Amino acid sequence: MMDDEHEEIGPEGIRLTNTFEAVNEMMYKTGMTDGLPIVPPTPERLERFLKETKRKSSDVIAAIPPKSGMATVEKIAINAVMAGCPPRTLPVVIAAVEAMSQEQFNLLGIQTTTGTATVGLVLNGPRAIELGFSGGAGALGAWNRANASVGRAIHLILLNIGGATPADIDMATLGWPGKFTFCFAENELKSPWSPLHVERGFHRQESTATVVGAAGLVEVVDTINTSAESILTTMAHSMTIAGTTGVECIMGGGEPLLLVTPEHAQLLARDGFDKAEVKRFLFEHARLPLTNLGKDSRARVKALRERTGVADVDADLRVAHRAEDIMLVVVGGIGFKSAYVPTFPGGSASVTVRVGE
């Protein structure tokens, strides 16, 4: 509990002396929260966070679109305090900001789209375990403090530093709960394959943060099939969603994310499928015939293909340009229930960076 009188400092340097309730009411009314109560970022709390990084508080990590707000270490820490993050997770939040600010991620598009796209965060390496991030049962849901608060900090940063206010600049027609928080660790201990960061050239003992332009989530339930090809067929067909047709005549953003539960992953590996073979199978079988689209959509796809010199304008829609672009991450607990995460149809490439000090 706070004392009745206490000095608070908001993300834009606003200072006031008041109660916990009054501070939350003021920050909500001025558009600085996600609608949930925040932890008042007092100077004392901020100082505890800043001790967890070797960077200077004035260091600029990135300019956050759409308003090009300067994400200094101090401002990042303020939003992490507000989100309820444990202080030791500050380097992870900083790494996420570094990753999502890379041009290929297209944060401007994600921040301003009318779609559901948001920033998803996948953590790999020993620090994910040390800091308490979950990749096991319920990893995408409630209860884990590190997952929930770090994901929330990212979205407060997008709001308070980037300036993407809902119904004004963030034009999401529906939005989705991932805009509150979407953060989890890969379940490396239960995976039969190399983890995501090792695939991308990092050492297993390095710790990384990967940002993904996540545009929803589709549960893939297959508790009946017992062969790898049958399960992969279910997964492939679950990825063929006509409503995710993107700007490049493919479904989604071209870099789909499949969250494979440990039991599914182990069964696939038992039948001799490594990650590369899983990706090839999905690439070949996750196809949507143009006849599944409406008349106007078919005409648009064909016209775009003609303009870009595609030989077969009637070819099926795919989920990626190459098999290698499909992302596989092992996550979850007991159960044969995986999930498909389509990525931003406006175009976004995931980015992985090392978590620094």
Residue 303: CB atoms within 10 Å: 12
Whether the Cβ atoms of residue 287 and residue 356 lie closer than 8 Å to each other: no
| Beta-strand pair 257-260/327-330 | parallel
316 shares its domain with 338: yes
State yes or no: pLDDT of 8 exceeds 60: no
Domain that holds residue 173: 9-214
Which token pair is 80?
């992490």
End residue of a domain, out of 168, 196, 214: 214
State yes or no: pLDDT of 3 exceeds 70: no
Q: What are phi and psi of 30, to 5 degrees?
A: -90, 5
Which token pair is 259?
């969250």
For residue 195, give the amino acid letter.
P
End residue of a domain, out of 186, 214, 242: 214
Whether the Cβ atoms of residue 75 and residue 11 lie closer than 8 Å to each other: yes
26-56, pLDDT tens digit by residue?
A: 899 999 999 999 999 999 999 999 999 999 9
Task: Tell whether 3 is covered by a domain.
Answer: no
18 shares its domain with 56: yes
pLDDT band at residue 244 under the 50/70/90 scheme: confident
127-137, pLDDT tens digit by residue?
A: 999 999 999 99
Task: Tell whether 4 is covered by a domain.
Answer: no
pLDDT band at residue 14 under the 50/70/90 scheme: low
- CA 74 from centre of chain: 23
Tracing tokens 């997952």 back to the chain, one arrives at 147
Whether the Cβ atoms of residue 279 and residue 232 lie closer than 8 Å to each other: no
pLDDT band at residue 305 under the 50/70/90 scheme: confident
- CA 223 from centre of chain: 27
Tracing tokens 């608070």 back to the chain, one arrives at 8
**C-alpha pair distances (Å), 152 with each of 42, 78, 82:** 18, 12, 9
Report field, pTM of the whole predicted structure over 0.85: yes
Whole-angstrom Cα distance, residue 44 to residue 55? 18
State yes or no: pLDDT of 154 exceeds 50: yes
Give percent of the chain above pLDDT 90: 80
250 shares its domain with 268: yes
State yes or no: pLDDT of 232 exceeds 90: yes
**C-alpha pair distances (Å), 124 with each of 92, 187, 351:** 11, 9, 13
What's the structural domain count of the chain?
A: 2
* Residues composing the chain: 357
Whether the Cβ atoms of residue 350 and residue 124 lie closer than 8 Å to each other: no
Task: Tell whether 356 is covered by a domain.
Answer: no
State yes or no: pLDDT of 7 exceeds 60: no
pLDDT band at residue 223 under the 50/70/90 scheme: very high
End residue of a domain, out of 181, 214, 247: 214
Question: How much is the average pLDDT of 300-305?
Answer: 88
